[in-house]
Structure 1
Amino acid sequence: MIGVTTDERQSIRTVTLARPDARNALTLDALEALEAAIADAEEPVIYLTGEGPAFCAGADLNAVADLDGDPDAAVAFAELGQRVARTIEASPAVVVAGIDGPARGGGLELALACDVRVGTPDSTYGEPGVTFGLFGAWGGTVRLPRVLGEGDALEFALSGRSVDAEEALRMGLISRIEDEPRTVAEEIAANAHDALGVLKRRIRDCAGEATKERREAAAFGDLVAAHADDVDALLE
């Protein structure tokens, strides 16, 4: 489900979400494999992308349905996704998300944890969980306002709408639109590797989000308990 390749010449590790038949939706096992692929990296740059016509549809709905409305299980699921996002954010490597096709829910939240987000002209972005009573709980309520500002974050999350690449660029969800997003990872990897790590640490230096994430996970647990039947209906 997670592919890992290394280009030693360019000093880039490519991590690929490789479940194209399910739009790269993430199961528990895939989340753990993704975490390991990021944590084990020794390269100065990681390029995170998806196989096939989607970047990532977010959490596998079957995995959400398997929570069976149990808020404790839902909190644990949210905390796993948050941990993976924190691993991406805290990686010594610069992590570049190359987004082609849809980035939805948890897929968008993992992209938000990356240092640089580059979309193709065909990329789209959305947090649709609110339409069936949930929301992305992999750190999205922490990072979305940080990236977009509170006003745009509220409108985007509460509407459940999707935006195309041009609007995502205007909002600040992505920093560039490229036919081949990997070229941005290559540009970054061409610079002094020790400087890359120092710059990332200094720009990323912040505190106080752990409490927000715990509250986010708890709120997700409550909603999974309230909307278990709605999730099951989506799978029928």
Structure 2
Amino acid sequence: MNAVEVERRGAVLWARIARPERANACGSDVMAALEGWLEQGRDQGVRVLVLTGTGGSFCAGADLKEAATLVGDHDALLAFLRRGRDLVAAIREAPVPVIAAVNGVAYAGGLELLLACDVAVAGASAQVGDRHLAQGQVPGWGSSALLPAAVGRATATRLLLGAESLDAAEALRIGLVSEVVDDHLLDEHVTTLADTIALYDAVAVDRMLRLTRRDPADLATAAAWEWQVLQEHAASVGARDHVVRFSSPSPAEES
């Protein structure tokens, strides 16, 4: 099975992360497929991009099992992390609106993918949170910059330090998502939204994106500082130990 299923629906190009056995964790195969999806999104006939997942997950974050295989090669580990960071930046800079259809868990790197999208619609059973500290890690794909821009500094700091998981209703209340719909209506609702946007004048939509997307200068400064801190953290013994520990299967998974 492809790591990401790409489907063209009229003027809308969908990408569905398809690694349900790994909670749609974002590994190199997923990153490569999403890079290809974004490239296809440059086709003049594509007016909207939609990102979602299969099963009960949107994306549980970076693939720690893959990261664990790179712990002994610091340059390779940083290249893996940088690729995810560049992917989030590319989504933020996509030439057309990007909608996240959040169909389940969106943690850590999954939250960063969500934050990169212009609009996020969640299913009622979605769970959203930064969760980096719960795994002994710090962000590297943008959440320390994008989260304050989305929900304000005080709430973002609480979410980053608390590593908590929010249900869809709370994510809506604080502004992490714009809408919550019943799980079985998520695909249909996002399809209607995307098709509506696709009908509008392309030039006007492009200019609206320039107005609605946050000031890139401020975010770029914050993201650069985040990357510096992540590089320091990734070089530490404790961070490497956490990657290995959290990538190991639990006894239940082994049985």
Q: Name the structure 1 match of 2:59.
A: 56
Matched, 1:199 2:208: yes
Distance 1:191 1:166 in 2: 30
Q: CA deviation at 1:156?
A: 0.5
Letter in 1 for 2:181: E
Aligned counterpart in structure 2 of residue 186 of structure 1, from 166, 176, 195: 195
Which structure carries more relative contact order (alpha carbon 8 Å, separation 6+)? Answer: 1
- 1:149-200 CA-to-partner distances (Å, cap 9, x unmatched) read 1000000010011000110001110011123242322332233333222211
Matched, 1:85 2:51: no
What is the correspondence of 1:147-186 to structure 2 with a 5 Å cutoff?
Answer: 147-179=150-182, 180=186, 181-182=189-190, 183-186=192-195
Q: CA deviation at 1:71?
A: 4.7
Distance 1:47 1:107 in 2: 14
Aligned counterpart in structure 2 of residue 6 of structure 1, from 1, 5, 8: 8
TM-score, normalised relative to structure 1: 0.92
Distance 2:179 2:214 in 1: 23
Matched, 1:213 2:215: no
Q: CA deviation at 1:70?
A: 5.1
- More displaced, 26-35 or 216-225? 216-225
Distance 2:163 2:123 in 1: 21
Does the 8 Å CA contact 1:75/1:217 hold for their aligned counterparts? no
Q: Name the structure 2 match of 1:231.
A: 243
RMSD (CA atoms)? 1.8
Does the 8 Å CA contact 2:108/2:132 hold for their aligned counterparts? yes
Does the 8 Å CA contact 2:56/2:104 hold for their aligned counterparts? yes
Aligned residues: 234
TM-score, normalised relative to structure 2: 0.85
Unaligned runs of 5+ in 1: none
